[in-house]
Structure 1
Amino acid sequence: ILIILGGRVNVGRDGDDAGGRNTQTHQYPDLDAESQNFLPEHNLGKKKYETEYHQGNASFGMSVFNLGNAIMGSGILGLSYAMANTGIALFVILLVAVAIFSLYSVHLLLKTANEGGALIYEQLGYKAFGIPGKLAASCSITMQNIGAMSSYLYIVKYELPLVIQAFTGTNNGEWYNNGDYLVLLVTVVIILPLSLLRNLGYLGYTSGLSLLCMVFFLIVVIIKKFQIPCPLPAALDSINSSLPDPNSSAVGYSDDACRPKYFVFNSQTVYAVPILTFAFVCHPAILPMYEELKDRSRRKMQGVANVSFLAMFIMYLLAALFGYLTFNSNVGPELLHTYSRYYKFDVLLLIVRLAVLTAVTLTVPVVLFPIRTSVNHLLCPTKDFSWVRHTVITVVLLAGTNALVILVPTIRDIFGFIGASAAAMLIFILPSAFYIKLVKKESMKSMQKIGATAFLICGFIVMIGSMTLIIMDWIHNALPSPVTKADGH
C-alpha cells in the first residue's frame, strides 16, 4: 500500500512543481522551514503528498522511547572490546564522531523525505535511483537485520550454556552444554513457531523489554566494576579457569594490564568503527516514526533524534567504560560472556543472562518479520499470501542465520562485517546520495550539497577502508600460527 501511495505521491509532487507550487509559496514564504508542521491546519500551500498521510498520534516522549528501542541492541555488548583496542580517549573521539554523523544522516533523511515525498527508506531509493536504489536500500536493511538476528543468536549460543551450567552444576561435555546444539534447539522450539505467525501482535513490545534488559545490564556492569579486583585473586581465577571461553584470550594479568590505556593501536583496532556504526544504526525506523509523530515537523523529529541519540550515547559510553575498566585488555568481544571466566555462580549475573536471553529470543521474530516481507515483495510482489511461501522463506532465513552463527568464529566478525557494509550504507552512503539526488532546490555549489557530498565520500572511505582491513585481518589470522590459536582470533 505504501509503495502504491509512493507512486501517487510522485505524480502529485511533479504536478505541484510544474503548475502550482510557485503560485502558493507567496502565501507561506517559509514553507520549507524546519519549524513548519508536517500537516498544518491550512494545508493549501503544502505539497500534495503531505496531505495524503494520516496525522500521527505518538507523543514526543513516546517517540524518544521508540527510537531508543530502535537504536539499542546487541551492539552494546561489543563496545568494551572496541574500547580495549582503541583506548579510552580514541574510543570517546570515535563514539562522538559516529553519533554526530548518525544525527546528520537523520537530518538528511528527514529533509529528503519532505522533498522526495516518501516516508519509507526503500521508496526514497526508488524515487532517487529507480530499481537499483530500491534494491540498494532493501539489501542494506536486510543485511543489517540479518546481522542483528545473528548477534542475538550468538548471545543464545554463548549465554544459554552458562545458565544451564548454573542450574545443573556440571560441564562434562554434555550436549545440552554445547552452544551450537542449544541455538538450533531454541530456534526450532521457540523462534520458528513465533516467526511463522502472520501477525506479531504482542511481540512488538519486546523491543521495550530489550531496552529495559540492556539498562539492567548496564547497572550490573557498573556494580561489577567495583566487585571484581584487578589483578584477580589466584583462587577466584583458578575456580573459573576451567570454563571455556571461545571469545577471548587466555586469562592472565600483569601490573601493566590493570592500567587503562588512552590510545591503543593493534590488529583489532580496525573493528572499532564498524562496531560503533553497528550499534547506532536505526535509520530505517526514522521515517515510520516521523510519520507517527504527533504535530510532526522536521525540527520536532530532529529533536526526538537528538534526545534519543544522547541517551544512547551516555549508555554506550558507560557500558564500554566500566566494562573495559573491569577487564582492561582481557575483555572479550561479547562483554556479558567475559564475566563467565570469573563467576560460575553469581545470582545477579544469572538474572541478567536470563533477562537478556528472554529479550533477544523474542526479538528475533520481530527482526525477521521485515526481512521476510522484503524478500516476499521482491520475489512475488503481485501474488496473494501463501502459507507455503511464507513458511519456506522463514525456514530458509532462520537456517541461514543459524549456519552463520555456528560457522563464524566470534560475534566480533558479525559486528565488524555488518558494521562496515550495511551499517555504513544506511548511515553514510544512502542518506547522502538520496539527498543529493532528490533535493532539487539546492544547487550542487550550496553548502548543504557540498556537506552531503563530503559525507558521501566519507561513507565510501569508511566502508572500503574498514572492509579491506577486516578482510586482511581474516586472511592473516587464517594462517596457522600459535599466537592466533592462543588468542582465539
Structure 2
Amino acid sequence: ITRVVSLGPYIPKTEDAWVFAKPNAIQAVGVMSFAFICHHNSFLVYSSLEEPTVAKWSRIIHISIVVSMFICVLFATCGYLTFTGFTQGDLFENYCRSDDLVTFGRFCYGVTVLLTYPMECFVTREVIANVFFGGNLSSVFHVVITVVIITIATLVSLLIDCLGIVLELNGVLCAAPLIFIIPSACYLKLSEEPRTHTDKILSCVMLPMGAVVMVFGFVMAITNPQDCTHGQEMFYCFPDNFSLTNISDSHFQLTTQLPTLNISIFQ
C-alpha cells in the first residue's frame, strides 16, 4: 500500500493498462478461485469447534471469506496500480531486492506459509489415511507419509520458480472442480427441491461455468502462461533505468536516469 504512493508514480504505465477483461481473464478466475478454496479443510475445522453448530460455522465462514476477499482485493489493486502491465504472477518479483519494506513483507509471507503448510499437510495425510489405510495410521506410517508429502512438495517448489503458473494450474485443476463443479453436481443429484428452486438454478449455472473455467483455463495456462522474471530483477531496478538506493518506511529515494533527465525524489 505504501509503495503505491512512493513508487507507483515513477513506474512507466503500459499501453491499455486499464482495459478490463482481456481474453486471458479466464486464467485470473482460476487464480481467484484458488485463493478462496477451503473445502478440503471444512470438515476438519468444523469438527475442531468447541460447540460445532451450523449457525456458528456459517458465521465463521462468512466472516473469514469477507476478510479474505478484502485483503485479496486490497493487495491486488495496490499491486496493479503500482506496476500495471508489468505486474508479475508473484507480486513480490516486481519489487527490487534493495527494498527493505518489501523484504520485511517477504519475511511475513514466509511466516504465513510456514504456519499454513502444516494444516495442508495434515489434510493430505488424513485423506491418504482414510482412502488407503481405513483411517488408522501406525506411528511408523504416520512419520513416513508425512516425510513423503513434505519431500514431494519441497522438490516441486525447488524445481519451479514461477508462482503464477502454479496458481493458475491449481486454480483450474483443483479449485474449479472443488468450488463450482463437484458441489453443484452433488446438490443436483441429492437435492429433492423442484427444478425451479433458486439453489438448483444457481447450481445449473455454476456447474457448466466451472467446466468452462477448468477446460479453457488449463489450455490458456499452458499456451499463454503469465510473465515470469525467473528470479531476475525488473528493469527499473537497474541503474540504467531506475536505482532504488534506500527504501524504508521513513525514507525513500528514487533516482531516475534518462538521457536528458536526472531526477531525485525524496520522501
One of 97, 101, 107 as aligned partner of 1:354: 107
Rg larger in structure: 1
One of 300, 307, 319 as aligned partner of 2:63: 307
Conservation of the 8 A alpha-carbon contact between 2:31 and 2:171: yes
- Deviation, structure 1 residue 281: 0.8
Q: Does 1:330 align with 2:86?
A: yes
Residue in 1 that maps onto 2:3: 224
Cα RMSD after superposing both structures? 2.9
Conservation of the 8 A alpha-carbon contact between 1:258 and 1:328: no
CA distance in 2, matches of 1:368, 1:303: 26
Q: Does 1:427 align with 2:188?
A: no
- Deviation, structure 1 residue 402: 2.3
One of 450, 459, 469 as aligned partner of 2:201: 450
User: What secondary structure does 1:230 align onto?
Assistant: helix
One of 152, 166, 170 as aligned partner of 1:414: 166
Q: Mind listing any 5+ residue stretches in structure 1 that lack a counterpart?
A: 1-221, 233-252, 478-486
User: What secondary structure does 2:122 align onto?
Assistant: helix
- CA gap of 1:345–1:429, structure 2 versus 1, over 3 A, is closer
Residue in 1 that maps onto 2:98: 344
- Deviation, structure 1 residue 419: 0.3
TM value normalised by structure 2: 0.72
- CA gap of 1:316–1:373, structure 2 versus 1, over 3 A, is same
Residue in 2 that maps onto 1:265: 22
- Structure with the higher fraction of residues in helix conformation: 1
CA distance in 2, matches of 1:362, 1:262: 37
Alignment of 1:465-484 (within 5 A): 465-473=216-224
CA distance in 1, matches of 2:38, 2:136: 30
Conservation of the 8 A alpha-carbon contact between 2:40 and 2:123: no
CA distance in 2, matches of 1:295, 1:384: 26
TM value normalised by structure 1: 0.42
- Deviation, structure 1 residue 367: 1.7
Conservation of the 8 A alpha-carbon contact between 1:432 and 1:455: yes
Conservation of the 8 A alpha-carbon contact between 2:41 and 2:123: no
User: What secondary structure does 2:224 align onto?
Assistant: helix
- Deviation, structure 1 residue 260: 4.5
- CA gap of 1:438–1:264, structure 2 versus 1, over 3 A, is closer
- CA gap of 1:451–1:332, structure 2 versus 1, over 3 A, is closer
Q: Does 1:368 align with 2:121?
A: yes
User: What secondary structure does 1:226 align onto?
Assistant: helix
One of 367, 372, 381 as aligned partner of 2:134: 381
Q: CA offsets, 1:304-354, max 9 Å, x none?
A: 4333322222221111111111112112211123212xx5152x3333222
CA distance in 2, matches of 1:325, 1:439: 45
Q: CA offsets, 1:252-301, max 9 Å, x none?
A: x4xx52885142526x5442111100111122334555553758345x64
Conservation of the 8 A alpha-carbon contact between 2:46 and 2:52: no
User: What secondary structure does 1:263 align onto?
Assistant: coil
Larger deviation, residues 444-453 vs 463-472:
444-453
Alignment of 1:12-27 (within 5 A): none
- CA gap of 1:259–1:462, structure 2 versus 1, over 3 A, is closer
Alignment of 1:281-292 (within 5 A): 281-290=37-46, 292=49
Residue in 1 that maps onto 2:257: none
Conservation of the 8 A alpha-carbon contact between 1:421 and 1:467: yes
Q: CA offsets, 1:28-87, max 9 Å, x none?
A: xxxxxxxxxxxxxxxxxxxxxxxxxxxxxxxxxxxxxxxxxxxxxxxxxxxxxxxxxxxx
CA distance in 2, matches of 1:312, 1:384: 34
Q: CA offsets, 1:449-481, max 9 Å, x none?
A: 23322222222122122112223336xx9xxxx
CA distance in 2, matches of 1:326, 1:297: 42
- CA gap of 1:444–1:227, structure 2 versus 1, over 3 A, is same
Conservation of the 8 A alpha-carbon contact between 1:293 and 1:301: no
Residue in 2 that maps onto 1:85: none
Conservation of the 8 A alpha-carbon contact between 1:372 and 1:393: yes
* Amino acid in the other structure paired with 1:338: N
CA distance in 2, matches of 1:413, 1:373: 27
- CA gap of 1:329–1:297, structure 2 versus 1, over 3 A, is same
Q: CA offsets, 1:421-440, max 9 Å, x none?
A: 11011111111122122223
One of 182, 185, 191 as aligned partner of 1:439: 191
CA distance in 2, matches of 1:366, 1:287: 13
* Amino acid in the other structure paired with 1:360: V
* Higher RCO (CA 8 Å, separation ≥ 6 residues): 1
User: What secondary structure does 2:20 align onto?
Assistant: coil
CA distance in 2, matches of 1:264, 1:305: 29
Conservation of the 8 A alpha-carbon contact between 1:333 and 1:410: yes
Conservation of the 8 A alpha-carbon contact between 1:225 and 1:322: yes
Alignment of 1:199-218 (within 5 A): none
* Amino acid in the other structure paired with 1:263: F
- CA gap of 1:258–1:377, structure 2 versus 1, over 3 A, is same
Q: Does 1:464 align with 2:215?
A: yes
Q: Mind listing any 5+ residue stretches in structure 2 that lack a counterpart?
A: 228-233, 235-267
Q: Percent identity?
A: 26
